[in-house]
Amino acid sequence: MSFEGKVAYVAGAGGMGLRIAQDLIQAGAHVALADVKPAPGELPSGPGGNKYFEGDLTDDGFVEKTMAEWERRHGRLDYLVNTTGVLLFGRDRSCLEMDLDVWDRVMTVNLKSFVLTIRHAVPAMKRAGGGAMVHFSSIDALRGDDRPQDAYGCSKAAIIRLSKSVAIQLARQRIRSNVILPGPVHTPMQARWDNDPAALQRLSDFVPLGRIGAVEDMANACLFLLSDKAGFITGTELIVDGGLTARP
């Protein structure tokens, strides 16, 4: 898969986003990373260039400014990767009882930020003659739960619908849009597992492939969907969960 000279904007520079950016940079792409957190201690290095934008991806002005700057610097924008997300654990409960401010916060971070990045990426991709987007959802979008996190699950389900709509709207402009649905992945968001190895082992045993996912598993899937090898794939979802959703 060749990414030499391509230009990407990765929204969310946590575990998965950082690894995706690193792999793209090492494959020759120029990558902007955007996140509300300060830049990591060591940004990825490789043949491709990079720049870190610290700011709120739910802020339309921030997204517009940073994406425009990155396009001006490189003369094009080819890829958008949306990994931004928040999981509020104990505060995100059943819709029957949760504080609706929690609902609004999760929807803003997990869904509105995707809408904003898509809105500002599309004109640049049209100017470039096409492009590809990958949005990260979750297998939680596919099922209910007796210990619900309804805001999170509903926001992740909405991402699937949003991506399908964008894929159909933009297909004739050679802009593709797809979704990855990770299963359990060891990222900073799931640092709780570091303090409970027994729970991590039980979860790993429940996954048919015998382990939870790693950030490189998600990056491998993402780079495939961005690449020309996926040139006839749009408007669909790729489940990357070690077989978890296939089990009875």
| Active-site hit among 9, 52, 79, 152 | 152
What 8-state DSSP symbol labels residue 112? I
Q: Reduce the DSSP state of residue 214 to 3 states and report it.
A: coil
Sheet holding 7-11, edge to edge: 50-54, 30-35, 7-11, 79-82, 131-136, 175-182, 237-240
For 123, left (φ over 0), alpha (ψ -120 to 50), or beta? Answer: alpha
Catalytic residue status for 79: no
Q: How many CB atoms lie within 10 A of CB 196?
A: 11
Q: Tokens in use for 122?
A: 């599309």
The token pair at 226 is: 């961005």
Which residues are known to be catalytic? 152
